Homo-oligomer: A and B are copies of this chain.
Amino acid sequence: MTPNGLGEFGRIGRFFAPLAGPGGLGLTDDAALIGCEPGRKLVVTVDAMVAGVHFLPDDPPDLVARKLLRTNLSDLAAMGAHPLHYLLASALPASLDDAWVERFAAGLAEDQRIFGVALLGGDSVSTPGPATLALTAIGDVAEGAEIRRSGAQPGDAVWVSGTIGDAGLGLAVLKGDYADLAKTHRAALTRRFQLPEPRTALGPSLAGLAHAMLDVSDGLVADLGHICEASGVSATVRAPDLPLSPAAKAAGADPAQAAVAGDDYELLFTAPPHAEAAIRRAASEAGVAVTAIGAVAAGEGARLLDARGQPIPLERPGYRHF
């Protein structure tokens, strides 16, 4: 048996069919069938990852799978949606053998249990290039309860969940930087890069509270800029209020660095001041810290301000692919 001895159908049958939910029809049909509950709408998103661009070729395959799934679940959470299903398209080089695929599928199985989602279908093809993965996630939300980017209003506070900047530092650690940092801190940072925590409980609970929301993937200030553009407003972030983790602080990270780091997958949202108590209650119930970090006003653009209210110049407003 060669390392790829199972073949395309063998891999689907052995590793992926056990992940299929009822709508997936055992992955033996051309397409999957899903229903939609009365009074709810479906929410659909897709994210792609490429080896060497979005993950390191040597990353453990189970973590690659889980990050791919989690970044999509984060997009659903950012709309206020509950996750339900996903589809997976994979283009894999021959160098990734059955054992790699098995570990990849095991990662999906683990996160299916955690997040209550199931595989609906997919496509597996070969590539002469790097492993390339695209995952389509489907969730649902009560009609009218979706939280879009375009609802921010002057007077809103800006909030963020969790801590910011860890994933960017984690990538640096994986590349060999911060070698002097304590091992526990390095582990905490790399985990944030390799295994983000989609805020699937907090997101839907902010329906009726948040005016606008997204998840931080390009970098906090760049992403806040997306909200500003979609909403026709401006926003400022108070650098001293940005939540940094103990590991990020130990690494000497400053707010200006954290504010342009990507891949944190925390929820960034705006909400009217009177919603504060309800937001803190929702966050407490979801077990996620939230921090008020800024304010929305008329105008355009997102800026980071220092303790004296002066703009902090940012070297790189956020990650761009090309």
Q: Which of A130-138, A152-160, A240-248, A308-316 contacts B (4 or more CB under 8 A)?
A: A130-138
Instruction: Specify how many copies of this chain sit in the oligomer.
Output: 2
User: Which residues from chain B contact A138 at a C-beta distance below 8 Å?
Assistant: 44
Q: Which of A48-56, A175-183, A297-305 contacts B (4 or more CB under 8 A)?
A: A48-56
Across the interface, name the chain B residue whose C-beta is closest to A43: B31
Across the interface, name the chain B residue whose C-beta is closest to A76: B31
**Is A63 positioned at the interface, with any CB of B under 8 Å from its CB?**
no
| Binary contact track A34-47/B, C-beta < 8 Å → 1, others 0 | 11101001111111
- Pair A46/B132 contact, Cβ less than 8 Å: no
**Is A129 positioned at the interface, with any CB of B under 8 Å from its CB?**
yes
- Pair A94/B31 contact, Cβ less than 8 Å: no
User: Which residues from chain B contact A226 at a C-beta distance below 8 Å?
Assistant: 28
**Is A260 positioned at the interface, with any CB of B under 8 Å from its CB?**
no
B-facing residues in A83-111 (Cβ within 8 Å): 85, 87-92, 94
- Pair B46/A89 contact, Cβ less than 8 Å: yes
User: Which residues from chain B contact A31 at a C-beta distance below 8 Å?
Assistant: 43-45, 75-76, 78-79, 81, 137, 139
**Is A146 positioned at the interface, with any CB of B under 8 Å from its CB?**
yes
Contact of A43 among B32, B130, B322 (CB under 8 A): B32
- Pair A45/B32 contact, Cβ less than 8 Å: yes
Contact of A33 among B41, B47, B136 (CB under 8 A): B41
- Pair B50/A41 contact, Cβ less than 8 Å: no
A210 to chain B, nearest CB (A): 13
Q: Which of A115-123, A166-174, A274-282, A285-293 contacts B (4 or more CB under 8 A)?
A: A115-123
CA distance A71 to B79 in the complex (A): 30
- Pair B41/A34 contact, Cβ less than 8 Å: yes
Using A31-B75, A41-B33, A91-B48 as known contacts, say yes or no to A132 and B127 having CB atoms under 8 A apart: yes
Using A50-B125, A138-B44 as known contacts, say yes or no to A149 and B28 having CB atoms under 8 A apart: yes
15 other contacts beyond A31-B139, A50-B125, with CB at 8 A cut-off?
A30-B76, A30-B215, A31-B81, A31-B137, A32-B43, A33-B141, A35-B41, A35-B42, A36-B36, A44-B87, A47-B89, A47-B123, A53-B128, A126-B321, A132-B132
Q: Can you list 19 residue pairs at the A/B interface with Cβ under 8 Å?
A: A28-B226, A28-B230, A29-B150, A31-B44, A31-B45, A31-B75, A31-B76, A32-B43, A34-B41, A34-B44, A44-B87, A44-B138, A48-B125, A49-B125, A53-B91, A89-B89, A91-B132, A124-B321, A129-B129
